[in-house]
Copies of this chain bind each other. A is one copy, B any other.
């Protein structure tokens, strides 16, 4: 295992700006242990515009050197970050559990996912397809005009701002998918940590900072800031040195960054992964054959992580009848056995309670999880209504972050399709179907393709595999840019742009597009793939 830091790290309560620990000057942040209902030391403070300025200046200064690193060097760097995280994983797990109230198995799995993501991008860097290498060889004798020698490869966009999520303190946070894919692309990263887990953020930030130093990279390759609002988040997005933004969070938070970016003279890509209620379509055959099993499995998916997952199944659509009644009965029983569990922060718990109250006003409550005395615990809730009410109401279509879901009783398959056609964009759309349902499913898939980044059958949307074929994205409001994915190897493409080299002398060409293919890449020669 590659690792470059001491095994025990004392938290300092500081930001990390280009390798330097810096105390914030603004609002105090004290992490809160939702299980113990107690504040956690040390105290952190928000940074201000001067910290944004320092981090962005260092990132730009680092960019020329960092982007000139070889893919192999960046791969080793990512692996060192993974090694450092593993070296201090016990500290990270303990702190993340305290800060989030999430169980040990979940956090342990998330550490593995985070290091796995870093290593996936290291492998991708060595494999080389991310270069997008293309060569259209010169045709000096072409009539009426000769063709020049044209070669294309990808280059990094520049410094990237990453806004960490509340609900994945590791995999979508300081060293999460956005950071890993931006660093892999050759872009320095400035992370805005989430206030909900500052200690976890500092620990992981230290792991990255140590890896930067060990690799001999410029210190500005990575910075970690705390803060919010115009002084920090908006200042970061509107800094002219920032060339792309990654964000995971709420619709209001994501759209605030999109709007801030739109005020810049120079448009930049903003990849905001925002809100999704992840519709689940239960077709007749599936309900007939396995309604009770579906009801129980649904509740397991709904209550995972207290429902605080981007892919939580917040909407269930089925034709009304005995099958749906059996599904609801099983779900109601499973919910009744489902214990209240802590939510990430008191604020998230309050928002959840507001969302449940709004659903209660507009839909019928059909089942609840167990209650609790704690204000920060999540009591799961299941509602039902009809399709017409759903499509007429913004409230019913809004994401309630937590273990709440809404079942839509449809009159027939046509009404299910109408729901598919008229809901907002989603990260996922799920279909439960038996072979007898395939004709209905065949009608549904084209509608779902326009609404979701991932279509899944006979499973549940929670649990996002990190691989090459994954899409964690989708039409607005699921994301602000449906052309990309924030999970899996294609995430690197978000931070690259193509450059064409015309008649550039052989000795000056980058190796990815050099004669003789020194990097042994698959390259598109006259549009056809070749590896020689």
A residues bordering B, Cβ < 8 Å? 64, 67-68, 109, 123-124, 127, 129, 134-136, 144-145, 147-148, 150-152, 155, 157-158, 258-259, 262, 265-267, 269-270, 425, 433, 435, 438, 441-442, 445-446, 449-450, 452-459, 463, 465, 467-471, 473, 475-477, 480-485, 489-490, 496-505, 507-508, 522, 524, 526-529
Contact = CB atoms under 8 A, between A and B. Distances in A.
A480 to B, nearest CB: 5
A258 B267 CA distance: 8
Contact of A469 (B134, B425, B452, B507): B134
Contacts of A445: 504, 508
B145 A505 contact: no
20 contacts: A109-B144, A124-B527, A129-B529, A136-B467, A152-B468, A152-B470, A152-B490, A267-B480, A438-B507, A442-B508, A452-B499, A453-B498, A456-B502, A457-B503, A459-B502, A459-B503, A468-B527, A471-B498, A475-B497, A483-B497
A412 to B, nearest CB: 20
Contacts of A526: 467-468
Contacts of A150: 465, 467, 469-470
Given A266-B476, A455-B504, A489-B527, A471 B450 contact: no
Contact of A136 (B435, B468, B527, B528): B468
Nearest to A499: B449
B449 A155 contact: yes
B267 A456 contact: no
A166 to B, nearest CB: 23
The complex is assembled from copies of this chain, and their number is 2
A499 B475 CA distance: 10
A114 B29 CA distance: 60
A146 to B, nearest CB: 10
Contacts of A496: 483
A468 B157 CA distance: 21
Contacts of A454: 499-502
Nearest to A270: B267
Contacts of A499: 449, 452-455, 471
Contacts of A151: 469
A70 to B, nearest CB: 14
B522 A458 contact: no
A75 to B, nearest CB: 14
Nearest to A425: B266
A359 to B, nearest CB: 23
Given A136-B465, A147-B465, A471 B267 contact: no
Residue among A124, A435, A481, A497 with most chain B CB within 10 A = A497
Given A455-B502, A459-B502, A527-B124, A471 B438 contact: no
A490 B498 contact: yes
Contacts of A135: 469
Contacts of A124: 527
A294 to B, nearest CB: 15
A452 B504 CA distance: 14
The residue among A68, A129, A150, A499 with the most chain B CB atoms within 10 A of its own CB is: A499
A508 to B, nearest CB: 6
A457 B502 contact: yes
A123 B526 CA distance: 12
A144 B113 CA distance: 12
A136 B487 CA distance: 14
Contact of A522 (B67, B109, B446, B529): B529
Nearest to A451: B499
Given A465-B147, A476-B266, A527 B127 contact: yes
A465 B498 contact: no
Nearest to A132: B490
B473 A498 contact: yes
Given A433-B505, A502-B457, A497 B469 contact: no
A455 B527 contact: no
Contact of A470 (B144, B468, B500, B528): B500
